[in-house]
Structure 1
Amino acid sequence: MGGGVCRLSTALHQAVMQAGLEVVERYNHSIPVSYASGEYEAAVSWPAGDYRFKNTLDRPVQIDTIASRDGIEVIIWILA
């Protein structure tokens, strides 16, 4: 098990990639994590590493998150 903030940034990153949005800033963990690997994970730390993305679509998006004992899910809806 890893930290909650990085699990959330990783779930957000995976949703951003799936939605086709542009990743502006992303960092990998310094050591492997159990819940994602390589390009599918995103580490955040204060004050150095942040995660940023840009909506390059011509429509707005809505971001929903669901947290449970089983994990974190992030869904990005592309709105009409």
Structure 2
Amino acid sequence: MLTKEHFLISDIRVPAKRKKTLDLGKLQAIAEDMLENGQTTPIRLRTGKTGFVLIEGYHRLEALRALGEDKVEGYLVRAQLH
């Protein structure tokens, strides 16, 4: 079972492919919702060589960054060996 944790936004790397998907309208809508309701859905991360790598929640991460937050709530997904 995944446990919510808090992560420093500065420790999270966003893959280059993911950065190309940023929709400014969606980002603004999410940021406005977060101002009213806070972060309701955690992002998903995996451990990287230095820090963490974003798996899911790019717009939520960028909305928090735009709002001046330094932490984000998320789940650390651990890879399973087969």
TM bin, normalised by shorter chain, reads under 0.3
Larger RCO: 1 or 2 (CA < 8 Å, sep 6+): 2
TM-score, normalised to structure 2's length?
A: 0.26
Higher helix share: 2
The alignment's TM-score, normalised by the length of structure 1, stands at 0.26
